[in-house]
Structure 1
Amino acid sequence: MPTPYRYVTPVPRKAATGRVAEVYDQLARDFGMARMPLFMTLSPAPDVLASTWAVLRESLLAGQAPRAAKEVVAAGVSLANKCPFCVDAHTVLLHATGEHRLAETVARGETPSDPEHARLFAWATGTATAGQAPPCPPEQAAEHVGTALAFHFINRMVSSLLTGDLLPAGLQRSRLVRGLGGRALARTVRRRLPRGEALPLLRGLPSGRVPAWGAGTPVGTAFAALHATAGEGASLLGGTAREAVVEAVAAWDGAHPALSGGPLSGGPSGALAEVAPAERPAARLALLAALAPYRVTDADVAAWREAGGRSDADLVRLLALGAVIAVWRIEAALAVATP
């Protein structure tokens, strides 16, 4: 039976132990789904798994901002990042909030009729290219910024590691199936979850600086952990390779790279031209995760393995590094505009 997993063998729910089992249990309770492909594909790297779940839970699922509004942000970012898997998932979750017309409007990439949702949708789709404060009350800003940044990270991991199908044979593309899926999740989605319950899952993990936009909130604490754990993937790249990836992302304008030429080119004008050939496969994967994760191919992963890349955990951490470098670039622009 086909699975959505491309390059990683996930830890099965029944075989999970320790931190992975704890995340799976909380995910099933708070998200309403016992087997979420994204989190299962991150399971070989428990630190990345736990910190990714924490930023998602504390931004999207918990807090005081309306869940439907945050789902609009999640779907808008996913549309901008060309992540159909996540667009489909959050269309279903919008249905679960009871906003059926809104769900289908956003799924088509159209502007919502409600002015508040329209402003949030426009903001979300532009977060990679325009640093603007979220159009929401100040007390909800951390949740909206956190949701947008969470999905800039999550979209990159999903596009790198999963197929585009949320359900077998692409059944999620049926409006009927999306509506039924939403109704099945409605009770869980409409619950008000207490904040901070994902933070104990981060015990023992490294933590970076809490971002100013999230100071004093569980969202900020979760992001400090994600920044640190994903950033540890830098150990998988040599110094020249790390610098080349960071510099290419720093120069990125937020748009989708051209299919030929530009930073992803393997030629003399490409971002990795000065990187040693043996290190290029790993650097290319990190750079693809940052700028165009939907262009990660079997050949890219095979070249990395042939150059010495071994474990599924290393692959998850390498891609997480690229994804978080892109998030740093986007976050820096948003932080300038966020009170």
Structure 2
Amino acid sequence: MTGTFRYTSPEPPRTATGVVADVYAQLATDFGIDRATTFVVLSASPPLLAGTWAVMRESLLAGQVSRTGKELVAAGVSLANRCPYCVTAHTVLLHATGDHTLAERIARGEQPEDPGHRQLLAWGKDMSTPQPFPSRQAPEYIGTALAFHFINRIVSSLLTEDMLPGGAQKYRLVRSVAGRSLARTVRRELVPGESLALLETEGAAPGWAADTPIGTAFGALRTAAHLGAGLLADEDAELVRTSVAAWDGVSPLPLQGEGLPDRAERPGARLALLAARAPYRITDDDVAAWQAPPFTDHCLVHLIAFGAICAVERIEATLTARTEEHA
């Protein structure tokens, strides 16, 4: 299990047991990809793996809202976060929905022709703008957006940019064929809530989730991700929280100077803060400065997840404040 994984060495999915095996089985059935590296990279932590899968399944895959619309929101989030791996994934999944022209417009960095599609893509890029959907659809759209704010940061931190071997995703035909192979699975209607039995943590459901399974999944992921704070000294964990709370949700960290902890002096705080605000800037040196014994793959994915969930909560807070302003 090498190549795609930058800093971890996950166990091969075929050897998985317990909840990890159960997540992989549900992935294969409901997502159509039984060895999705986005999730395999989290397998060192079953609670993180199950929580991430549940949030994505219950928001993006299940429910009544248009899958095309939710893929556009996820693509917008991924573009804003500079995550080429995830942008490619969403263009492939748009091919799977049958929206081939739309998929290729996104792949080329162009705007959708349909005004409604343009609004959804734009909202995914900036969730502080007015929501272009009715309130009854908010749990699925918001859940999808926040799921990919988390997933983008995991992917950018721990995987390479290539979704397919050898960078084959750069070819339109490959994207189209990959999407068509998933068409039957993507168009299936899933029963909401079936991922919740896999969860190993629990937490308070957010108000925006409106008592849906999405809220249960999000609460579980939040709890699992915050466990990573325990890998840092109290003052370092507080530094990460404070920096992210003061962040505007968009601007990246400066490459040096005020705001970014020194690699030699505070490597864990630096890594978590980069994961939150600029995961695409994480370097081999950043990881090597922190990941020494006794830290393992399990520890690394939890530290990255801590930074990621802090960023998600900052974006969620902006969204909640705007909703309250217009209530």
Query: TM exceeds 0.5?
Result: yes
SS of the residue 2:295 aligns to: coil
* 1:12-27 equivalences in 2 (<5 Å): 12-27=12-27
For residues 329 and 258 of structure 1, the distance between their equivalents in structure 2, rounded to whole angstroms, comes to 15
What is the correspondence of 1:143-162 to structure 2 with a 5 Å cutoff? 143-162=140-159
Q: Which residue number in structure 2 is paired with residue 29 of structure 1?
A: 29
Q: Corresponding residue for 2:57? A: 57
Residue pair 2:85, 2:163 contacting (<8 A) in 1 also = yes
Alignment correspondent of 1:172:
169
Q: Which residue number corresponds to residue 302 of structure 1?
A: 288
Match of residue 229, structure 1, among 224, 227, 236:
224
Q: Secondary structure at the match of 2:5?
A: coil
Q: Work out whether residues 76 and 106 of structure 1, in 8 Å CA contact, stay in contact via their aligned partners in 2.
A: no
Aligned to 1:208: 203
**1: CA distance, partners of 2:131 / 2:203:** 24
1:72 corresponding residue in structure 2? 72
Letter in 2 for 1:257: P
Per the TM alignment, residue 229 of structure 1 is displaced from its structure 2 partner at its CA by 0.6
Aligned residue type for 1:60 = L
Unaligned segments of structure 2, at least 5 residues: none
Q: CA deviation at 1:325?
A: 0.2
- Matched with 2:261 is 272
Partner of 1:186: 183
Contact 1:94 1:102 in 2 (8 A): yes
Cα deviation for residue 107 of structure 1 reads 1.9
Paired position in structure 2 for 1:291: 277
Q: Check if 1:334 corresponds to 2:319.
A: yes
Deviation at 1:2, TM superposition (A): 6.0
Contact 1:134–1:144 at 8 Å: present in 2 too?
no
Q: Aligned residues, how many? A: 324
Give the aligned residue type for 2:157: S
Give the aligned residue type for 1:191: R
Partner of 2:104: 104
TM-score by length of 2: 0.95
**For structure 1, which segment, 234-243 or 134-143, has the greater mean C-alpha deviation from structure 2 after superposition?**
134-143
Q: State whether residues 244 and 271 of structure 1, in contact with CA within 8 Å, keep that contact through their aligned partners in structure 2.
A: no
Unaligned runs of at least 5 residues, structure 1: none
2:182 match: secondary structure: helix
Computed over aligned residues only, the root mean square deviation of the Cα atoms, in angstroms, reads: 1.6
Moved over 6 A (4+): none
CA pair 309-335 structure 1, distance change in 2 beyond 3 A: farther
Cα contact 2:253–2:259 (8 A) shared by 1: no
Whole-angstrom CA distance in 1 between matches of 2:194 and 2:118:
31
Letter in 2 for 1:334: L
Partner Cα distance (1:20, 1:229) in 2: 15
CA distance in 1: counterparts of 2:124 and 2:64, whole angstroms: 19
Amino acid of the residue matched to residue 224 of structure 1?
G
Q: % of aligned pairs identical?
A: 58
Aligned to 1:125: 125
Q: C-alpha distance in 2, partners of 1:258/1:314? A: 23
Which deviates further from its counterpart, 101-110 or 136-145? 101-110
For 2:198 and 2:62, locate their aligned partners in 1 and report how far apart those are by CA, in whole Å: 16
In 2: Cα distance, 1:139 partner to 1:165 partner: 36
Structure 1 counterpart of 2:296, which letter? S
Q: Within 1, Cα distance between the matches of 2:206 and 2:132?
A: 19
Q: Quick check: 1:239 aligned with 2:224?
A: no
